[in-house]
């Protein structure tokens, strides 16, 4: 029978019990979750920017309504993820401060530009597709509040993915210019989407411990492989070519083999030197500054209500 608190904790995790905010947990478990959940929240909020760029230029009213709903969903995901991080004792002000100062990480993928309407299709298809692959197992994460938030997030992501794939389908069945646009978007988003899953297992600093704690259920490479296996047939159905000359189906394993990822590009983007890192942080800082009057008004209103309640 387990003796110390660490062993008892691990035994609960091994028994698939959910860990709740008031339960005892190792400091490392708490820190890992605050790190991952806050990076995830920042990704959702920064992730609104590349697509927000196309709301005013969506080609039809129907496309605009769907894109608006998707970008709003992402804002909502960010908010419940910040709340999940708060259940671990993190302060939302500190987390947002770390994002705005450039200290906190957010997903590398959102540092690439959206050059054409086809990029909105490619983001839904590939970026949300990758997000679902990574996040469905997080619905079974050992930490209750994160696992529960993920259930709703994944349902919404699945709508986002279909929205994107349907744009790609329309373009790939369209004029030659539209087909070229779809292919160009796939060319630019394919490799960055594979990088979303994080460094290879051999390089991943946190995977082994996070898997022992059942925060992560599958390794970065396992999820990346599943994504490639699921997505290549979808590209074929669209009549598009995945930009990887080494891509080949391996009959023996039943999986696609794919070419080497350019990890130097990934590292550059993580260091803040990707195509849009500066622009993204600039946009978040401006939104924060422009929203100062709303925060002040909300605080003043809350103080007035409190004073009235006491009177
Ligand atoms: N970008 O040891 P590992 C979305 C960092 S989907 C930037 O493998 P871990 C929806 C990692 O944080 C995107 N940094 O780390 C949407 C760590 O840095 P640290 C968000 C990355 O945590 C769609 C270091 O490298 N999804 O937003 C990346 O075990 C469309 C070492 O890596 C999530 O956040 C990267 N790609 O595994 C919104 C899902 N990869 O902290 C709008 C939850 C790794 O030591 C539009 N997160 N790093 O300084 C996770 O599942 C995990 O955190 C991983 C990384 C798998 C991302």
pLDDT over 80 at 1, yes or no: no
CB 135 within 8 A of CB 150: yes
Per-residue pLDDT, 92:
95
Ligand 1 geometric centre to CA of 232 (Å): 23
By most ligand atoms within 8 Å of CB, the mutation choice from 36, 99, 167 for ligand 1 is 36
- What are 224-283's pLDDT values in tens digits? 999 999 999 999 999 999 999 999 999 999 999 999 999 999 999 999 999 999 999 999
Backbone angles phi, psi at 258, to 5 degrees: -135, 165
Ligand 1 atom 3: residue of nearest CA? 204
Ligand 1 geometric centre to CA of 150 (Å): 15
CB 135 within 8 A of CB 227: no
Integer Cα distance of 30 and 21 in angstroms: 10
Integer Cα distance of 98 and 92 in angstroms: 10
Which residue ranges have their beta carbon within 6 Å of ligand 1? 35-36, 39-40, 43-44, 47, 74, 105, 107-108, 123, 127-128, 131, 134-135, 195-199, 204-207, 210, 220, 270
- What are 281-300's pLDDT values in tens digits? 999 999 999 999 999 999 99
Q: Which residues contact 23 (CB under 8 A, 6 or more apart)?
A: none
- What are 105-141's pLDDT values in tens digits? 999 999 999 999 999 999 999 999 999 999 999 999 9
Ligand 1 atom 7: residue of nearest CA? 107
Ligand 1 atom 40: residue of nearest CA? 198
Single pTM value for the model:
0.96
Per-residue pLDDT, 3:
84
Ligand 1 geometric centre to CA of 134 (Å): 10
> Where residue 34 falls among pLDDT bands split at 50, 70, 90?
very high
> Where residue 311 falls among pLDDT bands split at 50, 70, 90?
confident
Q: What integer best gives the mean pLDDT of the chain?
A: 97
User: Above 0.90 for ipTM, yes or no?
Assistant: yes
């Amino acid at each position: 029978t387990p003796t110390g608190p660490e062993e008892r904790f691990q035994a609960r995790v091994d028994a698939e019990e959910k860990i709740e905010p008031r339960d005892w947990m190792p400091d490392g478990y708490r820190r890992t979750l605050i790190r991952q959940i806050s990076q995830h929240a920042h990704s959702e909020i920064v992730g609104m920017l590349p697509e927000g760029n196309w709301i005013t230029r969506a080609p039809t009213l129907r496309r605009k309504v769907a894109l608006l709903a998707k970008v709003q969903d992402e804002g909502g995901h960010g908010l419940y993820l910040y709340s999940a991080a708060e259940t671990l004792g993190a302060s939302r002000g500190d987390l947002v401060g770390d994002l705005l100062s450039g200290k906190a990480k957010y997903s590398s993928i959102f540092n690439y530009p959206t050059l054409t309407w086809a990029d909105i299709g490619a983001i839904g298809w590939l970026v949300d597709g990758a997000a679902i692959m990574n996040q469905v197992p997080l619905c079974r994460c050992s930490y209750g509040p994160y696992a529960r938030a993920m259930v709703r997030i994944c349902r919404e992501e699945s709508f986002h993915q279909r929205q994107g794939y349907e744009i790609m389908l329309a373009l790939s069945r369209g004029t030659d210019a539209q087909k070229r646009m779809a292919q160009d978007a796939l060319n630019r988003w394919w490799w960055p989407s594979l990088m979303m899953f994080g460094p290879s297992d051999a390089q991943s600093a946190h995977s082994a411990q996070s898997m022992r704690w059942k925060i992560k259920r599958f390794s970065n490479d396992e999820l990346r492989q599943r994504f490639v296996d699921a997505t290549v047939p979808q590209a074929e159905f669209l009549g598009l070519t995945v930009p990887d000359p080494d891509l080949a189906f391996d009959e023996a394993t039943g999986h696609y083999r794919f070419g080497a990822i350019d990890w130097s590009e990934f590292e550059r983007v993580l260091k803040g030197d990707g195509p849009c890192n500066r622009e993204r942080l600039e946009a978040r800082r401006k939104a924060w500054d422009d929203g100062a009057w709303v925060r002040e008004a909300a605080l003043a209103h809350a103080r007035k209500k409190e004073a009235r309640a006491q009177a």
